[in-house]
A and B are shown apart, each in its own frame.
Chain A
């Protein structure tokens, strides 16, 4: 199996990257290259289309040691190491907090200028580069402008607009597309052994987000959460029930993020405490533990930032589902023959479609999108969702 296999419905990008990887070999061998390889790549595409997967596959293809076949064999030692994240010449940067600051960016570029240990390429992969601050952008820009030899920078962002124009113009663009429902369903059946009916449902409900589709197809809890979110349009009877529904939605997002980050937070904390000498006995232990209070505070700050982001992401996903529901209502109202995203809730969408007008549905869609923007702009999540529930009720 080749490293490209996990990329669903991205034929064009795979062809482009394959050619670049082949050219990269030519560069290393000293033979004539055709200019398909360059030092900075920008992977763009909607969430779930596999930006970081594509970048990682490309990194593997660059490091691939099976020189007989096409680059990116997927079974040599180097490919394997890249894919599991242990290759010494591939650094992956995954911003977990709300932003990626200039200090981290400086660390990244220092590392990018080292010579590759294995003699091929020094690859630096930045996921979610849209979270880089402007200062961080500028720090990275220096490396993009004057790349050290054998250094390759892979930057992933939802859109090229998320980066400074000066960086954008120095990168080669790899545009990923939203895979079709059929393609996502096919990969779920083939790779995860999901039942075809379930795969089709999950592919549609996730709107082309491959990871989300897999979670919906394989995790009953994820399906329950989705049903809870989509129950909101039915709870808009009175102002009080609308407010209660808003609270439930926000609490669910918070709970989900706590569940995901809580265990990890505890492990990180206890390992740091152990490193600082907690629980040990002997001379100097109290001093070391007390002196480590600053490090613990720093850790807590990082964890809080990560928690905020995780719960914001969970809330955003819920809002995307909700927007899709009103899109379904609009589809019914306008009588177009498009597939419904939430096919299982077709009846509920039809009820709302009959009771309201298309204008009202458009106003509701706007309200959902405005709420996403508000959450992103740091408005108190509960207040933003309350305003949404009330706006949905008024429309």
Chain B
């Protein structure tokens, strides 16, 4: 009995038509290779064609999808399917209406507005979503699922440490996870992760500024040197320092009202008011004044005023930490 698109199920890897929607390369690649692996399990001699949609001309399709002389399984992968020619889409519609046996087509669509009609045309087909992960939470979920895929116990803090250390690139996260799983045994906790991964990959100027206004000079210097090695621009550090000091001055002068009231008066999110309040306890106006002037000086230095930007930033950090105790 021929399989119809309407009957396609998510777990039927060899459905006549699979739509992979999204532009997260790693996940698109995985979805495609799942189909290919299933096809090869079914028939080790499977004939696989991987083409860029824009290169497929009208009339090519019947030839690509026609029954094979030796009756082996066929898989056709069309990349960037949003660029498909209209006539080719018409061929595809004909194909989907009456798919021959042992043929699978995978359409990779970037997920944008372009060629959206394609998705509605093949609404009933098997669909795999692979959008870019933009939120931290999504990456965290992805990484957790990745680590737990082999049934190992994984602590939440282990996920955090690994995310901090490896960064935001899914491919790197994924290979870090598989490396970790093959190198270790038993439950994965932060100690296990810490044995292999240390430091921070995506360091922001704010992390440095937080350390400095909290008086942790060693920590701030360590972070900023780490940042220098991983491409953190000095300008971002000075602007984050200025922002932190400015917030401290604002929060300190706003009085001790409830956080949400202060937050709405200053146009600051409440969590930031709480955090800044803690930081502001050690600061006096004179110290703030000294620190801000030092940061302004450093900002001019990193924008071409000094020969060594890194030195200018480190000097500003020292000045900020020194000013923290001043005026008491």
Cβ contacts under 8 Å, B296 to chain A? 374, 379, 383-384, 386-387
Q: Give the nearest-CB partner of A239 in chain B.
A: B285
Which single member of A240, A377, A391 contacts B293 (CB below 8 Å)?
A391
Of the candidates A386, A391, A394, which one forms a contact with B246 in the assembled complex, judged by CB atoms under 8 Å apart?
A386
Closest Cβ neighbor of B287 among chain A residues: A239
A308 to B284, CA, bound (A): 34
Residues of B within 8 A of A394 (CB): 289, 293
* CB atoms of A239 and B299 under 8 A apart: no
Closest to B291 in A: A390
Query: In the complex the two chains form, is A390's CB within 8 Å of B304's CB?
Result: no
A268 CA / B296 CA spacing, docked (Å):
36
Contact B249–A377 (Cβ < 8 Å) = no
Whether the pair A386, B253 counts as a contact (CB closer than 8 A) is no
B237 to chain A, nearest CB (A): 13
Question: B289's contact among A239, A377, A382, A383, by CB below 8 Å, is which?
Answer: A239
B285 cross-chain contacts in A, Cβ below 8 A: 238-240
* B115-168 contacts to A (CB < 8 Å): none
Contacts of A377 on B, CB cut-off 8 Å? 300, 303-305
A349-395 CB contacts (< 8 Å) to partner B = 374, 377-380, 382-384, 386-387, 390-391, 393-394
B12 to A: closest C-beta gap in Å: 38
Interface flag for B81 (CB, 8 Å): no
A219-264 interface (Cβ within 8 A of B): 238-240, 242-243
Give the dominant DSSP class at B's interface: helix
B252 located at the interface, meaning its Cβ lies under 8 Å from any Cβ of chain A in the complex:
yes
Instruction: Report whether A390 and B303 are in contact in the complex, using a CB–CB cutoff of 8 Å.
Output: no
Smallest CB-CB separation from B239: which chain A residue?
A380
A378 pairs with B304, CB closer than 8 A: yes
Instruction: Give the total of A residues in contact with B, Cβ under 8 Å.
Output: 19
B265 nearest CB across to chain A (Å)? 13
Is B252 a contact partner of A240 (Cβ separation < 8 A)? yes
The minimal Cβ–Cβ distance linking A161 to chain B, given in whole angstroms, is 19
A239 lies within 8 A of B288 (CB): yes
Query: Is B305 in contact with A239, judged by CB distance below 8 angstroms?
Result: no
Measured between beta carbons, the chain B residues less than 8 angstroms from A374 are 296, 299-300
Interface residue tally on B, bucketed by range: 20 to 34
B289 touches A379 (CB 8 A): no
A368 to chain B minimum Cβ distance, whole angstroms, is: 14
- A248 CB, nearest partner CB in chain B, Å: 14
Determine how close the nearest CB of chain A comes to the CB of B252; give it in whole angstroms.
7
Chain A residues near B292 (CB-CB < 8 A): 243, 383, 386-387, 390
The answer to whether B246 touches A387 (Cβ under 8 A) is no
A391–B304 CA distance with the chains assembled, in angstroms? 22
A240 touches B249 (CB 8 A): yes
Q: In the assembled complex, how far is the CB of residue A360 from the closest CB belonging to chain B, in whole angstroms? A: 15
Shortest beta-carbon distance from A185 to chain B in Å: 38
Residue of B nearest to A384 (CB): B296
| A390 lies within 8 A of B289 (CB) | yes
A238 touches B297 (CB 8 A): no
Bound complex: CA of A298 vs CA of B162, how far in Å? 41
| Residue contact A383 to B288, C-beta cutoff 8 Å | no
For B305, the chain A residues whose CB sits under 8 A away are 377
* A243–B296 CA distance with the chains assembled, in angstroms: 13
B249 touches A243 (CB 8 A): yes
> Are A393 and B289 in contact, with the CB atoms below 8 A?
yes
B242 part of interface (Cβ distance < 8 Å): yes
A383 with B295, Cβ < 8 A, contacts A239-B285, A377-B300 known: yes
Within the assembled complex, what's the spacing in Å between the Cα atoms of A379 and B304? 10
B274-299 CB mask vs A (1 if < 8 Å, else 0) is: 00000000000110110011011101
B204 close to A (CB within 8 Å): no
Chain A residues with CB under 8 Å of chain B are 238-240, 242-243, 374, 377-380, 382-384, 386-387, 390-391, 393-394
Closest A-B pairs by Cβ, 10 of them: A387-B296, A240-B253, A239-B285, A390-B289, A387-B293, A383-B242, A379-B299, A378-B303, A379-B300, A383-B296
11 pairs of residues in contact across A and B, judged by CB atoms under 8 Å: A238-B285, A240-B252, A243-B250, A374-B296, A374-B299, A377-B303, A377-B304, A379-B296, A380-B242, A384-B299, A394-B289
Q: Given known contacts A239-B285, A390-B293, what 9 new A-B pairs fall within 8 Å (CB)?
A: A238-B285, A239-B249, A239-B288, A240-B250, A374-B299, A382-B242, A386-B242, A387-B293, A394-B289
Enumerate chain B interface residues (CB-CB to A < 8 A).
238-239, 242, 246, 249-250, 252-253, 285-286, 288-289, 292-293, 295-297, 299-300, 303-305
